[in-house]
Amino acid sequence: MEVKKFNKIMAANRGEIAIRIFRACIELGIKTVAIYSEEDRVSLHRYKADESYKVGKGKGPIEAYLGIDEIIDLAKKKDVDAIHPGYGFLSENPEFAEACEKAGIALIGPGATIQRQLGDKVAARKVAIEAAVPVVPGTDKPVTSEEEALLFAAKCGYPIMIKAAAGGGGRGMRIARNRQELAEGLRSASSEAKAAFGNPSVFLEKYLENPKHVEVQIMGDKYGNVVHFYDRDCSIQRRHQKVIEIAPSPNLSAAKRQELCDYALRIANHVGYVNAGTVEFLMDADGNFYFIEVNTRIQVEHTVTEMVTGRNLVRNQIRVAEGYRLDDPEIGIRSQKDIQLNGFAIQARVTTEDPTRNFSPDFGTITAYRSPGGFGVRLDAGSAFPGARISPHYDSLLVKISGWGISLRESARTTARALEEFRLRGVKCNIGFLDNVISHPTFLAGACDTSFIDNHPELFQ
């Protein structure tokens, strides 16, 4: 085992995840560096670090966090040993991973090779097939013409999902229920993908009606050891984006859970996965699993896994990147058996969006903010305090509220209570909507599939 401890870590990100990373660093006695855009000059994450530097002069608020050369140069100048990319921005960009390596800076996450094998959804499907993991029936390469798409439709039938190979965040996705929608969807998904990801490539999958979204948290060290931290159910979605997540998936039998986690480990072992990642699947009403993608980074919803396993994933990510083995006391996972589930946790994403106005983002100044607390409640927030300015330029996630309980019902009670305790004035938010979902009998029965929100417009009241 070759360990090189880090003295200073930069979070190449903003908001709650930058703060989450700094917290782990502080707990490990590692110095912290923040970067911030002009737009974020009074954002909280900047003040939570030991040092902070403005980036992206003359660039837009998003582009500021995407400047690979500038970020690497700054890291070198400030003696940063390692960069944590968080989620979004540069977190799944193999060119960034390569630039870090070239500069002699560790990236806290899997390297460029693994990112390339799994980052593109078509490539990842190939890996899954090689690893004998079931995938959604689909094309094995990008579709470049209407004729190819029609051939697939003839073979597999409608409805069909058109997906961007480089997709993420629910963008570049279209459902086609007939020939005309397929032709139109191909064009619009491809141009959306080009605009959003700089890559117009799309492929086709059979569209599964009303599946559940289940996913497995994995982590590997640099010596070929990989474990899973069990599963999450992320079926509560709007526009294919997660709103509420649960760990572990409710109503999954021990045998099905084992099958799911084994599939995830097969993929991880096939590529020699290093650091944290998530293997995502859909599950149909008969309990069949279908691989959909791998996220080669820490995810927004890692909190619920931490709550039910008691494992600090971000701290473990840092230790793995420093070269520790999973079974080192610093990480403390001697074998898979050391990871045990305890109870349930639910994460609700509080956003500054107005559910009564089709979730359009709201912005302005927070005039009143009183956060909940008490047993079983965890909060992960970015700039959420009285006087904070909510910018229209970034993701509308304000705070993640996670509630723990010994059963699904108990964790729902904790989470609903925390949502009800919350006071926020000055900007609109989705707290009432989240509370409606968590209090719904279908939710409490652990029976929501990915169409739940769309099928229940009364939740918006």
- Encoded tokens for 273: 């996965």
- Paired with 246 in beta bridges are 233, 346
- CB closer to ligand ADP, 13 vs 237: 237
- CB closer to ligand ADP, 436 vs 450: 450
| Beta carbons within 8 Å of 113's beta carbon, 6+ residues apart | 94
Catalytic, 297? Answer yes
Q: Is residue 309 part of the contact set for ligand ADP (CB under 6 A)?
A: no
Q: Is 222 annotated as a binding residue?
A: no
CA-to-CA dists, residue 130 to 50, 115, 439, 446, angstroms:
46, 17, 42, 33
The amino acid at residue 97 is: A
- Options 186, 193, 208, 219; binder of ligand ADP; rule CB under 6 A: 208
- CB closer to ligand ADP, 282 vs 331: 282
Q: Is 205 annotated as a binding residue?
A: yes
CB of 124 to ligand ADP, least distance (A): 10
φ, ψ of residue 161 in degrees (nearest 5): -100, 125
CB of 166 to ligand ADP, least distance (A): 9
CA dist., res. 201 & res. 28, Å (int): 42
Site string for ligand ADP, 222-241 (x = CB under 6 A): ---------------x--x-
- Options 84, 107, 450, 459; binder of ligand ADP; rule CB under 6 A: 450
Q: Is 270 annotated as a binding residue?
A: no
Site string for ligand ADP, 156-195 (x = CB under 6 A): -----x-----xxxx-------------------------
What single string gives the DSSP state of each residue in 21-56?
Answer: HHHHHHHTT-EEEEEE-GGGTT-HHHHTSSEEEE--
Q: Give the CA diameter of the chain.
A: 59
Please list, residue by residue across 195-209, b when 16 or more beta carbons sit within 10 angstroms of its beta carbon and e when fewer do.
eebebbbbbbbbbbe
Which DSSP helix (H) or strand (E) runs through 365?
A: strand 364-365
Which one of 297, 325, 349, 378 is the catalytic residue? Answer: 297
Which stretch in 12-20, 95-103, 205-213, 350-358 sits in contact with ligand ADP by CB under 6 A?
205-213
- Options 85, 185, 211, 382; binder of ligand ADP; rule CB under 6 A: 211
The amino acid at residue 279 is: V
Residues lying near ligand ADP in the complex (CB under 6 A): 136, 161, 167-170, 205, 207-208, 211, 213, 237, 240, 280, 282, 292-293, 450
Active site residue ranges: 297
